[in-house]
Structure 1
Amino acid sequence: MDYKIPDIEKSFEGKIVENLGNNDYVIKINDKEHQLRILNMDAKGIEFILDQQYHKAKYLETLTNEMNLVIDHVPITLNMNTHFDKIVFKNSGGGGAGGTQLALKSQIPGKVVSIAVAEGDSVKKGDVICTLESMKMQVSVKAHKDGVVKSIKIKETASVAKGDPIADIE
């Protein structure tokens, strides 16, 4: 997964290389391996030792593609995937073969937070159709092509599964 910290031009890729057991891991950040030991992790944050140095991270807020946290008393915003909107757009039917797909489908499971369009509305490719909440993150589902909203297949506060139709756009 790509991560980017604002005001730092370079993004970096982090991944777990090996699970050593007992909350010990070998992780790789870009091309360099590091030793990681997780001491405590809960919904509020995580305490860990990275390369023999103690760190404490407190979670403040998680949004669609970013997380606000405080690491060792320094506030940081992580852009967890700088291409998140493009990924959701592509996987919800965008960028298809000639835009012939009628149904806009959910790429993630979640709860419908809001619906931005009504049946009969004209939409352009990339317009927000609805907002879903999944794992405390809000994700905008965007139109996969220009057209008219023929029908809306969801209701606010309802749950949707991955692959469920959101709307038909002609």
Structure 2
Amino acid sequence: MNYKIQDIEKSFDGKIVKNLGNNDYVIKINDNEHNLKIISMNSKGIEFILDNKYHKAKYLEQTTNEMNIVIDNVPITLNLHTHFDEIVYKNSGGGGAGNAQLALKSQIPGKVISISVAEGDSVKKGDVICTLESMKMQVAVKSHKDGVVKTIKIKETVSVAKGDVIAEIE
């Protein structure tokens, strides 16, 4: 999985290479292997030993793309899935020859948290149309083209499925 720490341009890949049992793992961060032992983990945070050094991480909040945590009393924002917005945008009808497409579709199931436009509004490609919440993360659904919002097919607090039409943009 690809991660990026806010204000640091470089991203890094982290993955579990081997599960040794007893909450002991060999993990790989970029090209370096490290020993990881998880001492405790719950919904509030995690205590772990990384390469024989104790660390404590407290989870503050998480959205689709970011996780705010405090590691050893230092606040850090991790950007998760650094290309997630691009993927959602592309699969919602954006990018490529899909500009003739009228319907903006949801590419994830979720609950409509807010609607940022009204029928008749002019929008530019990439403008936020609505925000969905899925798995306690918020995702901005953006316009796939320049145009005018013909109809809005959703309402706040309503759930949408993958592939549901969110709005029609002419």
In structure 2, the CA distance between the partners of 1:128 and 1:18, relative to structure 1 (3 Å rule), is same
Q: 1:158 aligned to 2:168?
A: no
Aligned counterpart, 1:80: 80
Taking the aligned partners of 2:147 and 2:7, their CA distance within structure 1 comes to 38
In structure 2, the CA distance between the partners of 1:15 and 1:160, relative to structure 1 (3 Å rule), is same
Alignment of 1:46-57 (within 5 A): 46-57=46-57
Partner of 2:108, secondary structure, is coil
Alignment of 1:25-104 (within 5 A): 25-104=25-104
State the 1:100 CA deviation: 2.2
Gaps of 5+ in 2: none
State the 1:49 CA deviation: 1.9
Q: What does the per-residue CA deviation read over 1:53-107, in whole Å, with 9 as the maximum and x for residues that have no partner?
A: 2211000121341111111111111122333322221122211324122221112
Partner of 2:39, secondary structure, is strand
Taking the aligned partners of 1:24 and 1:102, their CA distance within structure 2 comes to 51
Taking the aligned partners of 1:21 and 1:59, their CA distance within structure 2 comes to 25
Percent sequence identity over aligned pairs: 82
Taking the aligned partners of 1:130 and 1:80, their CA distance within structure 2 comes to 21
Query: What RMSD over aligned residues (CA atoms) do the two structures have, in Å?
Result: 1.8
Aligned counterpart, 1:131: 131
Taking the aligned partners of 1:135 and 1:48, their CA distance within structure 2 comes to 25
Taking the aligned partners of 1:28 and 1:127, their CA distance within structure 2 comes to 37
Gaps of 5+ in 1: none
Alignment of 1:134-145 (within 5 A): 134-145=134-145
Taking the aligned partners of 1:115 and 1:3, their CA distance within structure 2 comes to 29
Q: What does the per-residue CA deviation read over 1:12-33, in whole Å, with 9 as the maximum and x for residues that have no partner?
A: 1112223344433322111112
Query: In the alignment, is the contact (CA less than 8 A) between 2:112 and 2:157 conserved in 1?
Result: yes
TM-score, with structure 2 as normaliser: 0.89
